[in-house]
Amino acid sequence: MHATIVVLPGDGIGPEVTVAAVSILQSVAQRYGHQFDFHECDIGGIAIDKTGEPLPVATLNAAKQADAVLLGAVGGPKWSDPSAKVRPEQGLLAIRRALGLFANLRPVRPHPAALDASPIKSELLQDVDIMVVRELTGGIYFGEKKRTTDSASDLCSYSQLEIERVVRTAATLARQRRGHLVSVDKANVLETSRLWREVTARVISEEFPDVKLEHQLVDSMAMLLLARPRDYDVIVTENMFGDILTDEASMLAGSLGLLPSASLGEGQAGLYEPIHGSAPDIAGKGIANPYATILSAAMLLRHSLGMDDEAAAIERAVDESLKAGVFTPDLARGGTSVSTEAATQSVMERI
C-alpha cells in the first residue's frame, strides 16, 4: 500500500517523539511491503516564529491532501502568555476543525508492568480497559468569547448534529467492545448538557438498542474514574469535560507518556497524537517517553489505513518492551531508565 503521512513535530519534545514514531512506521513499511511518504510541516509555536500563524496555510493544505496526520505537541513557555492574540494551541484547534475531526479517541489501558508508576493502588488497575471519546469541535472552546475591563464570558453551545455524530462514533466502538456506554454531562446545571443527554438517549434507543447506556454527571465521573475504573468501557462526553477527564485518566496508566489518541471525522483521514504536552522542561535531553506517539502511529495504521495486523504488531512490541522493563524516566520513577532512542529501538527490534 502507498500512503502519504504529514508529520507535524511541533514544539518541545514533539520533534523527538515524532522522529521515534516515524522510524517505527518506516520499519513497519519495510516489514509488510508498504510505501509511506512522509512530509514534515510546522504547527504551533515554531510556526508562529516562522510565519506569525500557529497553522500556516501550507501546513493545512498538506494535511488536507494526506491520508493521515501525525502530530507531536505544541506550546511552551515562550508562547505561554494567556493574553496573547496568537497562541500555539490555536493551531491544534484550527486543524481539527478544518479537517472536520469531531471525535477524539483516547484509549486507557494500564500495562501490568507499569502499574507501580501510577499513584493509584495497583489492585484497582487490574484489567482496566477504557476508551474515552471526546467531542472536538463544539462547546466552550469554540464559542463566542467576550472581554471587557471587568468581566469576561465564553459561550458554550452544541447542536443536535454535533452530539449525534460523536455519540454514534462512541456507540459503534462500544458495540465492538463490551457494549457499555457512559455519557458524561452536567445536566443538573447546564442547558447544553440537557440537550446532550436527550440526544444521546434518543440515538442509543433508536440506533443502538444493544448498547447499554448510563448517564453520569462530570463531577461524579471524575470520582468514579479513579475509585472503580474497571466498571467502565466506553465513555463519551463534550469537549472540555473530555479534555479534563482524559488527563485524569492518564494517571491510571501511570504516565501521560503511555497514552495515544486519534481524532477522526466522517472519512478515513485522521490526526494522531500523544495526549501529553510539549514538556519543555525535558526537551532536548533525549529522555522523552516515545511510547504514546508510537501507539498513536499504531492507531493511524488501524483507523486511517486499515492496517489492523500492522497496528497490532506495534502494540505488541510496545507491550513486550514494557514487560521487559524498558522504561523512560517518567515510568522508572528513580529506577533504571533508558533514553528515547533506546525505547524506540526496543520497539523496533520486537516488530
Q: Which residues are catalytic?
A: 141, 186, 219, 243, 247
For residue 298, give the nearest of 24, 62, 96 by alpha carbon: 24
Distance separating the N- and C-terminal Cα atoms of the chain? 18
User: Nine-digit cell at 89?
Assistant: 494551541
Q: Taking phi first (over 0 means left), then psi (-120 to 50 degrees means alpha), and beta for anything else, what does residue 333 get?
A: left
Record the cell numbers describing residue 88, joined without a space.
Answer: 500555539
- Give yes or no for a contact between 36 and 99, defined as CB atoms under 8 angstroms apart: no
Rounded to whole angstroms, the Cα distance separating 12 from 288 reads 10
Estimate to the nearest angstrom the gap between the alpha carbon of 236 and the chain centroid: 14
Bridge partners, 264 (sequence order)? 103, 270
Q: What's 115's DSSP letter?
A: G
Structural contact between residues 117 and 254, judged by C-beta atoms closer than 8 angstroms:
yes
Buried b / exposed e over 269-299, threshold 16 CB at 10 Å, is bbbbbbbbbbbbebbeeebbbbbbbbbbbbb
